[in-house]
Structure formats: C-alpha cells, structure tokens
Amino acid sequence: MRKETARNFWRRYLQLVCNGSASLQVDNPANRFIVGVKAGEYDEFPDEEYNELMEDYEQLYGIWKRARQCSVQDILLNALQMTKLDRNCCDGIAELLAECSARSDYSSESEKEDQDALLRELGNACDWSEEEEEESEDHSPRGVYEYLCQRVRGQEEAKRAAAMILYNHMEGRRSTAVFCGPSGCGKSEIWRRLSQRYPKLIRVLDASRMSADGWKGSVHLRDAFDGVPDEELQKRGLIVVLDEADKACCETVMGNGGTNYSTLIQNSLLKMMDGDEITFGKEDGKKAISVDCSRVSVVLLGAFENLLQKKEDQSCGIGFGASVRIERDYSNTDISYDDLIAAGMRREVAGRINRIVSLRPLSSADYRAILTGPVLDDLQAGGKYRVVIDDDSADQLSRQAAATGLGVRWMRSQVMNAMDDLMFSNPEADLYTIRF
C-alpha cells in the first residue's frame, strides 16, 4: 500500500479506538476495488497503475483476513500480528504502551489480561531485526528464481535473467538490461514481485508518465532516489526499473514550446547507465540533489510494438520474387541491438545495454496454470472455503484469454462474478465449484 494512503488509513482507525469505537464494524475497503474490477472500471488503466491497485487490494484483504466486515480492534490486532517490526519501532510502541500503563489503574482483571496478551504478541513480533531477516533469506540466483517461480507462472528464461541481475547487483556488479515482450506477458510482474521482497533495493517507475527533470509531470527520474540516504545508496546500491520504457526511449514526447522530453530523459538515463553522478535541480518544493550512480543498475521494460512493426516491414520486398511478409510477434522474433535502435532508441542508450531478454506471449496452458493457481488461491486465501473450477470451464477461459489478449484481469473478473453468483445462493458453503 502506498505510504501516504496507509498512513491516513491507520490514523483513521486509531482515532476510532481513542474515541471508544474499537468494536465498530467497518467494511473492507477492498470490496470497492472488487466491484470496480467487475464493472470494467480498470480495464484501461496502465499496467503499472493497475498493479499498484491490485497490490493494495491484496494487502487490505490480507489484513482483513478476507472478511467483508471487521471490527476496528480486530483490524489493528491483525495488522500487528502480520507485521515484523525493527527494534526502533518496537521501542517506540513499547514507550507508548508504557504510557498507557501509567495512566491505567486496570479496573478489572480481564482488562489486565487483555493488556498482558497484547504485550506478549508485541514481544513476539519484536524478536526480529531487518538485518537478521535479510541474512536468513536466500539471495542466490537459484533462491531468487525459486521465489519468483512461486509467484510468476512461465517465462523461465526471464525469471532466471532477473535472478542473475539481482544477484550480480548485490555482489557489486552493475547491470543494464532490457526486458521486452507483449503486454500482459509477465515482465512487469517479475519486477513488481522482486520489489515487494527487496523494497529498499528495487524501485519501479512508470516511464509512460515520465517527464524530464525540471518540467511538470507526474513521474521524474529523480523519484527513484526519493527517501534513499546517500550511505544506503553506496552500501546496497539501487536497481531502477523503468516500466513502459519504450514510451520514453523509442517515442518522441513533445512538450509545450517544442521541448522533446524523450531526449532530455535519455540524457539523464545515459549518465545513470554509465554510473556517473547526476544532478537534479529544484523541483515542486524539492531541493536540488546530486546522486552518485556508481552502484545503480538499470532495467528497461517495454512492449516495443514499433520494433515488431519495423521487423515485419523488413521481411517483405517489392516486385517479382520479393519475400512474403512475415507477421512478427515475440514467439518468432529475436531482438537485437540494431532492432532497438531501428525502433527509435538512441544508439548511445542501446550501446550501454548488457542484456536483452525477450518474453514470449502467454499460451492457453500458461493462462490455465495462472487461473488454477494464483487466481483461485486469491479467492480462498482466507481459509473459510475452497474454490475449484471444472476442467472444461478452465480450458474455455484459458483459450479465450490467449486468443483475444484479454488476459489475466479478464479471467479474474469472470471467476469473481461466478463466485458472487454462487455465494449469493449459498453464502455458508465450504466448497464452491465454478462452471461456465
């Protein structure tokens, strides 16, 4: 969940507790998102924005433990049980509870027992530090790859490549890479999942909304370094992932007065790829900063549709004996540096790329694995009931998703609508079988 959104969210519920409304039943705000998905409100959203919303929805549903309603006090306790706190956070919370203890006379034994239970929960949660957890995680290429395999279906080569980029970066070897593939193939999901596991190491920016430094725009390259202390940048480095990078690197983006934002963005990108120092000027109340990029890796994600069109045009000639036009997609095309340059990427940028990773379109088998795996898992994560889908229905949905390009979002909407119909008729069932 975005930090400011989360902060406002918890502030509201803490105020309810302080006002004596801890037992108040509140609706799960994720329900509004689910209704919007079913109504198609998010169909036109960019992948990055939709994925952020989906991530928020997953986190909210986790805190509510899939309940449609929950009391304020249960929400807070659920969140505490699911949160691993560093020692500084624990000290602050312990100090607050100590103040509460000093103000309370424990008017009843039950209240004291409740307080003791809460302190025990807090003590268990506090037996942890960030450095200890990071040391216990498997950062080897195989460990990272297996982590991705649990969360992303298919695209084995891309997952291995991402694991090696991450591993090399953590070993002090910077990378510059391009992940190209059709929309919805999983390139953004791979790096979104890795950024969830390594939030201090990976920053994902939506390059389709990016403007040049010093110009008005919703996203700037300097945003990747917001909140990253210099000493942290020198210690860990940073992997900057630009989603929809083809929009910034291969398309002309003109502003008022004839300014080519794409050229300005790529000028800064070149310095970042070279590991140079970049200076960002004052902007929207932010002070000027200089960033040492000697430990910064860069990953560009994009569909590069213009690239495929140009390769298709090159496959046919004019006149007698001319070659037949070959319809190009990522299942029959190898991408080269020359292809990136022909698609509009500056030669200097393409020349600094260490690795090009092509992702193929998802097949109906891939969609079926996603449907019977993550999609159904989301529906039954609370453990209150099981959800299955019969084979014919699963095959039908998977084939349609692959043939039409409607993708996982569409499959998810179809299943959620079917679940609503089943639960309306029998809300207390232990098992739901979806058929179409």
**pLDDT higher than threshold 70 for residue 112:** no
Residue 377 to residues 150, 370, 381, Cα–Cα distance (Å): 12, 10, 6
Which two three-digit tokens encode residue 351? 């020349």
Q: Picking from 120-134, 246-260, 395-409, which range would have the lowest pLDDT averaged per residue? A: 120-134
Q: What is the pLDDT of residue 100?
A: 67
Residue range 363-370: average pLDDT? 88
212 and 329 within one domain: yes
Q: What is the pLDDT of residue 208?
A: 78
307 and 180 within one domain: yes
Domain boundary among 358, 391, 408: 358
Q: What is the pLDDT of residue 73?
A: 80
Q: Which amino acid is at 216?
A: K
Which two three-digit tokens encode residue 180? 């190209």
Q: Are strands 25-27 and 69-71 parallel, antiparallel or unpaired?
A: antiparallel
β-bridge partners, 206: 243
Q: What is the pLDDT of residue 330?
A: 65
pLDDT band of 107, cuts 50, 70, 90: very low
Which two three-digit tokens encode residue 169? 């970066």
Cβ–Cβ < 8 Å for 224, 272: no
184 and 123 within one domain: no
Question: In terms of residue numbers, what domain contains 108?
Answer: 3-133
55 and 121 within one domain: yes
Q: What is the pLDDT of residue 261?
A: 66
386 and 351 within one domain: no
Q: What is the pLDDT of residue 42?
A: 78
β-bridge partners, 378: none
3-state secondary structure of 254: strand
Cβ–Cβ < 8 Å for 401, 177: no
278 and 179 within one domain: yes
Q: Report the percentage of the chain scoring pLDDT > 90.
A: 24
Q: Which CATH number goes with the domain that contains 293?
A: 3.40.50.300
Q: Quote the number of domains for the chain.
A: 3
311 and 329 within one domain: yes
Distance CA(427)–CA(113), nearest Å, equals 35
Residue range 32-53: average pLDDT? 76
Domain boundary among 133, 148, 182: 133
32 and 81 within one domain: yes
Distance CA(307)–CA(120), nearest Å, equals 59
For residue 109, is it left (φ>0), alpha (ψ between -120 and 50) or beta?
alpha
β-bridge partners, 291: 278
Task: Establish how many alpha carbons lie within 13 A of residue 434's alpha carbon, considering only the half-sphere containing its beta carbon.
Answer: 26
3-state secondary structure of 27: strand
Q: Picking from 115-129, 241-255, 383-397, which range would have the lowest pLDDT averaged per residue? A: 115-129
Helix or strand run (H / E) with residue 29: none
385 and 304 within one domain: no
Cβ–Cβ < 8 Å for 158, 144: no
> Which of 50-64, 76-90, 136-150 ranks highest by mean pLDDT?
136-150
Residues 6+ apart with CB under 8 A from 406: 400
330 and 284 within one domain: yes
128-145 pLDDT, tens digit each: 444 444 444 668 999 999
Residue range 345-359: average pLDDT? 91
347 and 209 within one domain: yes
Cβ–Cβ < 8 Å for 196, 54: no
0.75 exceeded by pTM: no
Distance CA(198)–CA(237), nearest Å, equals 12
374 and 354 within one domain: no
Residue range 215-227: average pLDDT? 74
Domain boundary among 315, 342, 358: 358
Name the CA radius of gyration of the chain, rounded: 25
Query: Can you say how many angstroms the Cα of residue 433 is from the centroid of all Cα atoms in its chain?
Result: 30
**pLDDT higher than threshold 70 for residue 272:** yes
DSSP state of 225: G
DSSP state of 436: -
3-state secondary structure of 204: strand
